[in-house]
Amino acid sequence: MSKVCQITGKTFMVGNNVSHSKRRTKRRFDPNLFQKKFYLPQDDMWVTLKVSASGLRLINKIGIHAAIKSAQEKGLISKF
């Protein structure tokens, strides 16, 4: 599962490159992913996640424990 946010589930999108002559060729828009380490004080452990920029904002808003719990319910994370 590379290039997938483990918190929000964002993946790539497909679009077109448009040249000056309006000729269209397919391209991919990859999500803005970061490999970040987070500390879980309840479990006293560090967790490494691949998260997008919007996933980081979600973690800042609701907290790391709630974000991981909601990702597990969606089936994005299975090993915590």
The domain that contains 38 carries what CATH number? 2.30.170.40
Q: Residue 6 domain-assigned?
A: no
In a domain, 2, yes or no: no
> Is the confidence at residue 79, as pLDDT, over 80?
no
Tell me, what's the pLDDT at 80? 65
CB 54 within 8 A of CB 11: no
Domains: count for the chain:
1
Supply the pLDDT for residue 78.
85
Terminal CA-to-CA distance of the chain, rounded, Å?
17
| Whole-number Cα distances in Å, 28 to 13, 20, 55 | 6, 19, 20
Q: What is the pTM (predicted TM-score) of this model?
A: 0.85
pLDDT digits (tens, 9 = 90+) for 40-71: 999 999 999 999 999 999 999 999 999 999 99
Q: Count Cβ atoms below 10 Å from residue 23 Cβ, excluding itself.
A: 9
Longest dimension (CA), the chain: 58
What percentage of the chain exceeds 70 in pLDDT?
Answer: 98
